[in-house]
Amino acid sequence: MEEHDAPHRSAVKAITWRILATITTIILVFIFTGKVVIAFEVGTLEFIVKYVLFYLHERLWDRIHWGRVIINPGGR
């Protein structure tokens, strides 16, 4: 029995992670520049680019079998 994440699961994981990471980026850019507009522009661009990269990364890793453990739900 082989288990894979569905593409929509990878998409949701990417979105939730990107929200957290983008908030961090916006805060850091604001701290360094003192400019709200620049912070949100950088955050928006960062969200889009890194979302796509994370999604592709997840889909690639879903094809790699190394490190996966198959659990038999029936215990046999």
pLDDT band for 62, please (50, 70, 90 cuts).
confident
Report the C-alpha gap between 50 and 52 in whole angstroms.
5
Contact status, residue 64 vs residue 4, Cβ threshold 8 Å: no
What pLDDT, on a 0 to 100 scale, did the predictor assign at position 76?
58
How much of the chain, in percent, has pLDDT values that exceed 70? 92
Section 44-58 average pLDDT: 90
Q: What is the pLDDT of residue 41?
A: 98
Of the candidates 46, 58, 45, 64, the one whose C-alpha atom is nearest the C-alpha of residue 14 is 58
> Number of C-alpha atoms within 13 angstroms, CB side, residue 36?
0
Tokens of 50: 């890194």
Q: What is the pLDDT of residues 30-47, one digit of tens each?
A: 999 999 999 999 999 998
User: What is the residue extent of each domain of the chain?
Assistant: 7-62
